[in-house]
Amino acid sequence: MRRTVTILGATGSIGRSTRAVIAENPEQLQIAALVAGRDAVGLARIARETGASFAAIADEGQGGELAAALAGSGIRHGAGREAVLEAVERDSDIVVSAISGAAGLEATFAALTPGRVVALANKESLVCAGAAVMGRARAVGTRVLPLDSEHNALFQVLGAEPISAVRTMTLTASGGPFRTWSAERIAGATPEQALAHPNYAMGAKITIDSASMMNKGLELIEASFLFGLGAEQLEVLVHPQQIVHGLVTFRDGSVSAGMAVPDMRVAAAHCLGIDGRLDAPPSRFLDLVAAGPLVFERPDLARFPALRLAMAALAEGGAAPAVLNAANEIAVEAFLAGRIGFPAIPALVEAVCARARSVSRPPADVAEALAVDQDARNRARALLSEGGFAVT
């Protein structure tokens, strides 16, 4: 019997990878419901192509356009928060949670139901509310699988070993477009330069985070909640080839490394085939001879202070990761809009974090996480409008 998959974030890059894997395995998998943020026309097209039974658009204002685009298809649909939650609640074996931002957090929580598999790519679910999400998943019996390449690699190579067998986990980072740049040159980086990621085509936000290495910092925080490891057991190595995605070092000196071509479909296929590996097409297998020498470097926290800030937030715990994440989102928006320079991203994040030292308890649920998130955004916006971070 085919397993049914609901995709939250169907029109984004992870949604696209997920759909590609489902299309490659029509005997094993079929789409249930689809959710997108704002692109009603794209969502309707995908829903028709994949034979989805339900399509929801988060942006309520796009409801009319979705209805028009689905006219005559027989596909049920809806718009707004309630429609998104209806999509999540409809019957499906696997929910792929790839809506970015706070909207994805609520939908992810709703997806945590007994017996289900939730393939998680929504960063906020773990960064802002990791303790709550993982606690709920354990309590209700949901299997949470990481869909990011790095966490998926770590999940696979940890396998059935208890976490007590682990000495450290290492996430690799491409190093981004500024890996070899001097601090001075990075200080003058433009949005266009920061958007030139060497290996993956991703959304603008995550590409800027990759350039600042904040992305890797947020991933460290995600790994902490996913695997139950503290900051002192989590490390980053820069690995420009992006062939090794994560490494588990066991207490006895054995190291298991998760590798794959840099293609999000590999991790997606692992999650969708969790109860029986799917077959990848021949072109998706790693050729280590062709991949060339694999090189590993320590990250430079002086040139990439965002990574240092994320490590500090992880070590601090409580609401610090949620504050960091919210401040960073505002900072990246401002950078992309040309309002602040590249070094002002970590500077603004640091300023916001410095004023939020008092929230020592991690958010207990979605509402608390969203409140912390909103508060940090407001503080970041206030600091921005004071003008101290503006491009001069």
Place of tokens 């989805």: 52
Is the Cβ of residue 13 or residue 256 nearer to a copy of itself in the bound state? Answer: 256
Q: How far is the CB of 336 from a copy of itself (least distance, A)?
A: 33
Nearer to a copy of itself, 248 or 359 (CB): 248
- Nearest CB to a copy of itself, comparing residues 265 and 379: 265
Instruction: Give the nearer residue to a copy of itself in terms of CB position, either 185 or 277.
Output: 277
Which has the closest alpha carbon to 321: 148, 137, 190, 133? Answer: 133
Beta carbons within 8 Å of 165's beta carbon, 6+ residues apart = 250, 251
Nearer to a copy of itself, 201 or 288 (CB): 288
Structure tokens at 192: 């266009």
Beta carbons of 124 and 103 less than 8 angstroms apart: no
The least CB distance from residue 261 to a copy of itself, in Å, is 7
CB of 52 to a copy of itself, least distance (A): 24
SS3 per residue for 227-258: HCCCHHHEEEEECCCCCEEEEEEECCCCEEEE
How many Å apart are CA 333 and CA 336, to the nearest integer? 5
Q: Min. distance of Cβ 95 from a copy of itself in angstroms?
A: 19
Smallest gap from Cβ 305 to a copy of itself, in A, equals 21
Burial class (CB in 10 A: 0-12, 13-18, 19+), 45: middle
Looking at the Cβ atoms of 194 and 236, the one nearer to a copy of itself is 236
Closest approach of a copy of itself to the CB of residue 232, in Å:
15
Minimum Å gap between C-beta 260 and a copy of itself is 6
Q: Which of 242, 283, 238 minimizes the C-alpha distance to 259?
A: 242
List interacting residues with a copy of itself (CB under 8 A): 152-153, 156-157, 159-161, 165, 167, 237, 244, 247, 249-261, 263, 265-267, 269-270, 273, 276-280, 284-286, 288-289, 291, 293-298
Q: Which residues of 72-92 are buried (b: 16+ CB within 10 A; e: fewer)?
A: eeebbbbbbeebbbbbbebeb
Largest CA distance in the chain: 62
Check residue 51 and report its DSSP letter.
T
Q: Which is nearer to a copy of itself, 89 or 297 (CB)?
A: 297
